[in-house]
Amino acid sequence: MRDPARILVVDDVPDNVEILRMRLESLGYEVVTAVDGEQGLAMAREALPDLILLDIMMPGIDGLEVVRRLKADRSLPFIPVIMVTAKATPKDVVAGLEAGGDDYLTKPVDHGALIVRVRAMLRIKALHDEIQELNRALEAKVAAQVDELQRVGRLRGFLAPQLAQAIVSSGDERILENHRREVVAMFCDLRGFTSFSETAEPEDIMAVLAEYHGAVGPLIRKYEGTLDRFTGDGMLVFFNDPLPCDDAPDRAARLAVEMRDAVASLAPGWQKRGYRLGLGIGMAQGYATLGRIGFEDRFDYTAIGAVINLAARLCAEASDGEVLVSGRLAAAIEAMSDVEDLGDRQLRGMSRPAAVARLRAVRIAPAMDARE
């Protein structure tokens, strides 16, 4: 609402218009006028007053029809209307209120009644506008929250929840664009899964995968790894991207050991059902190109590079319960891990031998740089 408030006076009698104009302006209000119903409708749409004083008995379109049209016009904001009438019978008052009027004054207009009713209607107008502004702010906030939830939902497909929230809260998703960074990559999959899936019922396969994912998924979140993708029983997880962490090798080592132990605890139950399954893990450290791939409404975040291939080959080489790591990663974690050097190995699909080590255990557990 304006300050001072703008009031539209509509009356076909010039003297009545002038009297109301003078009284209202003496109270500090801005006054605009119209001399009949048609002009009153046009002025209401043009001036958008905060209050209308509307005579009922006018030639052409009378005040009742004017107020009906005003209240039916959804393009107009809420504008309270005081019906001004020379007829003060209950029937006339009811007719004005039913047509859409918010209050009424009888002619001749008493100055005290005018002041009281105008101030009351303007208070209503001010409260209405305040509520409308709050509603608009709330709608904008809800829309922003919905958008944020949708973005968080998309990011949580491959990021730990706290990392997804941090990216969305910053309002800058450029870190998900293609870039190059040093990462620690981890591949893992179930030993014996291929033969198991060839003979097992689909429901049994899904049940095993649910148990497997349920055991290792929370651990990936715990250590804030970035989950690239599921490929049946296989997973690719990497560290130090999209948000950097100084202790990526340590986190990866601790995750690998806990994942190995978690699956080992599931193995006895699987064996009772006749399933011979175990977990193999391969990890490597090196540079990769990372970023989003896909199309509208379906994006994945992935890493590409020799380090990813090396981790995959080490995983394929690992036996049940074994964690194989590249020589570079072994050197990075030797201070906090029990690592056995296996020398150079010729890995399938690689042109040159690679330095390989076996991660047996993690000796110490340095505090993680946990993000809120």
| Burial class of residue 281 in the structure, from the number of CB atoms within 10 Å of its CB (0-12 exposed, 13-18 middle, 19+ buried) | buried
Q: Torsion angle, CA of 254/260/262/263, rounded to 10 degrees?
A: 160
In this prediction, residue 370 carries a pLDDT of 43
pLDDT value for 24:
94
The pLDDT, as a whole number, for residue 298 is 66
Series of mean pLDDT values for 10-residue runs along the chain (372 residues): 93 92 94 94 95 92 93 92 84 85 89 92 93 90 75 62 64 76 96 93 95 94 86 90 90 97 96 95 96 74 92 96 97 94 92 95 62 42
Report the distance separating Cα 348 and Cα 260, nearest Å.
23
pTM of the predicted model as reported, rounded to 2 decimal places: 0.59
Q: What is the pLDDT of residue 371?
A: 44
**Helix, strand, coil fractions of the chain, as percent rounded to 5:** 45, 25, 25
Q: Is the peptide bond before 202 cis (omega within 30 degrees of 0)?
A: no
Residue type, 53: L
Q: pLDDT at position 369, please? A: 46
* Predicted pLDDT of residue 372: 41
- pLDDT score recorded for residue 170: 65
User: How far is Cα 136 from Cα 134, in angstroms, rounded to an integer?
Assistant: 5
> With contact defined as beta carbons under 8 Å apart, do 10 and 52 qualify?
yes
CA distance 164 to 224: 10
Find out whether 84 and 11 touch, Cβ atoms under 8 Å.
Answer: yes
